[in-house]
Amino acid sequence: MKTDPVPQKCFALVTETYAPQVNGVANTLGHLCRGLLNRGHQIQLIRPAQSGEHPGISNGPELLERRVNGMAIPRYPELQLGLPAGNRLRAMWKRQRPDAIYLATEGPLGWSALRVARKMGIPVISGFHTHFQQYADHYGVGLLQQPIMSYLRWFHNRTQLTLTACPTQQKELMRAGLENLVLLGRGVDCERFHPSHRSTNLRQQWQAGENDIVLLHVGRLAPEKNLLLLIQAWKEALETTDHPERLRLVVVGDGPMRAELQKQLPDALFTGWLNGAELASAYASADIFVFPSIVETFGNVVTEAMASGLAINAFDSAAAHQHIRDRFSGCLAPVGDAKQFTCNLLWLIDDVEGRRSVRIHARHRACQLGWGPVIDRFEGYLSRAASGPAKMTRATHARDPRLKPGSSEPRG
């Protein structure tokens, strides 16, 4: 049955990161913002000015972009932490009051936006995009983990809803005391990421023949990404496989661990950051995707690799938990079980038919994960927030019982 279109509204999106920055949060927000614009809504995008930019306003017919002052995040120099901008936001929202606000980040900029919105009576929902509290140990501030979580709980519980990436994250946040959690999910562009982008020329640049096996890792090269396991698994693969000369390792991305990784993995190829057609070709030209991270809120790179037809080797969490069946559409190890993670990688390397079957099923599952339904949900949450919290809550639960806090959807 055809549903009536949502009346056009004005929504404000507040975030620390946005394209052309390369990370999962920027990628997700880009899809959500474009989706709302394509449906005729007006968008106010509030974010810090990045390197080479100046604070100010870019005003288009449907998209008003407000860049505010920021400061570099320690060990993340490519990102700017948005500074409080309460006065500017108050003046902006007095001139054009948004129907609802989405807070994608919880830093000083998000805090000031929440404070102003509550004083002005503008409905606010939020999203949990980054496990900042889990990063504390990796950056030598483990004692701050509990205070960070307390702040995040305080922040999100003062918004009408908190949108989560996947059911496992939803359950973790419920245990941490966050309330009013609903599933947003993530999509993947299966035309952009497609096995047809496989390139013989690129594989030749990687010194990989047609029968060689290319292992690929894509992501930020940082301590919290558990990359010591990538080193360990690669070395064990070279030592135990019958044909180590047929193995290649390609690492896409950059970050503070790059120099150490290059030292530990002298036979690997490091490309730096890739995007667009170059990234799609890199995915499709590999064979196995190796993803040892256990701190992801979702892990967009997992579904991008699946859409590209790769065999995924990951831990049983976030996107991998939600969309992969072990030894069917990928390989899953219990979270933290490094031995099983490495055993799974060796199986994918040695079992040609098993790897081929996994790749086929991974692509099939990814093709069920378009962005359309995700944008539908996002638009619905914002529109119902604009109608008032009581009406929003009833409508949300009546619309789809699977979106109740703690619910999940069938795994692929």
CATH number of the CATH domain containing 397: 3.40.50.2000
**Tally of helices (H runs) and strands (E runs) in the chain:** 16, 16
Give the separation between CA 411 and CA 330, rounded to whole angstroms. Answer: 12
Do 202 and 159 belong together in one domain?
no
Q: What is the pLDDT of residue 91?
A: 96
Say what the pLDDT of residue 17 is: 84
Q: Token pair of 69, please?
A: 């002052």
Q: Please indicate, yes or no, whether residues 81 and 156 belong to a single structural domain of this protein.
A: yes
On whether both 395 and 267 belong to a single domain, the answer is no
- 1 in a structural domain: no
Assigned domain for 409 exists: no
Beta strands at 311-315 and 288-291: parallel, antiparallel or unpaired? parallel
Instruction: Check whether residue 107 and residue 176 sit in a common domain.
Output: yes
pLDDT of residue 130: 73
pLDDT at 237: 97
Q: Examine the domain organization and report whether 269 and 163 are in the same domain.
A: no
Same structural domain for residues 199 and 148?
A: no
Beta-carbon neighbour count of residue 337 at 10 Å? 14
> Within 13 A of 241's CA, how many CA atoms are on the CB side?
25
For residue 114, the enclosing domain spans 10-187+371-403
- Whole-number pLDDT of residue 381: 97
Residue 4 carries which DSSP code?
A: P
Please tell me whether residues 262 and 379 are part of one structural domain: no
Q: What is the largest CA-CA distance in the chain?
A: 69
Q: pLDDT at position 25, please?
A: 87
Determine which helix (DSSP H) or strand (DSSP E) holds 115, and give its type and residue range.
helix 108-120
Alpha helices in 245-337 (DSSP H): 258-264, 276-285, 300-307, 318-323
Written as tens digits, the pLDDT of the chain (412 aa) is 445 566 799 999 999 888 877 788 889 999 999 999 999 999 999 999 887 788 888 877 789 999 998 887 666 666 667 899 999 999 999 999 999 999 998 989 999 999 999 999 999 999 998 755 444 454 444 446 688 889 999 999 999 999 999 998 899 999 999 999 999 999 999 999 999 999 999 999 999 999 999 999 999 999 989 999 999 999 999 999 999 999 999 999 999 999 999 999 999 999 999 999 999 999 999 999 999 999 888 999 999 999 999 999 999 999 999 999 999 999 999 999 999 999 999 999 999 999 999 999 999 999 999 999 999 999 999 999 999 754 443 333 333 333 334 333 434 4
Q: Are residues 381 and 348 in the same domain?
A: no
Helix (H) or strand (E) run with residue 381 in it: helix 371-386
Would you say residue 130 lies in a domain? yes
Instruction: Give the number of other CB atoms < 10 A from CB of residue 194.
Output: 18
Query: For the CA atoms of the chain, what is the radius of gyration?
Result: 22
* Number of compact structural domains in the chain: 2
Cα distances (angstroms) measured from residue 336 to each of 102, 103, 174, 259: 33, 31, 22, 25
pLDDT value for 79? 64
Distances (CA, A) of 91 to 95, 114, 116, 307: 6, 15, 10, 44
Is 408 inside any structural domain?
no
How distant, in Å, are the alpha carbons of 93, 224, 319, 378, 382 from that of 7? 20, 42, 32, 14, 12
152 and 99 in a common domain: yes
> Which pLDDT score is estimated for 85?
94
Could you tell me which of 329, 246, 339, 328 has the C-alpha nearest to residue 292?
339
Query: CA 190, CA 307: separation in Å to the nearest integer?
Result: 6
User: How far is residue 98's CA from residue 10's CA, in Å, rounded to a whole number?
Assistant: 5
For residues 256 and 385, state if they share a domain.
no
Q: Are residues 335 and 391 in the same domain?
A: no
Residue 147 shares a structural domain with residue 255: no
Whether 379 contacts 39, CB under 8 Å? yes
Is residue 82 a part of any domain in this protein? yes
Q: pLDDT at position 110, please?
A: 95
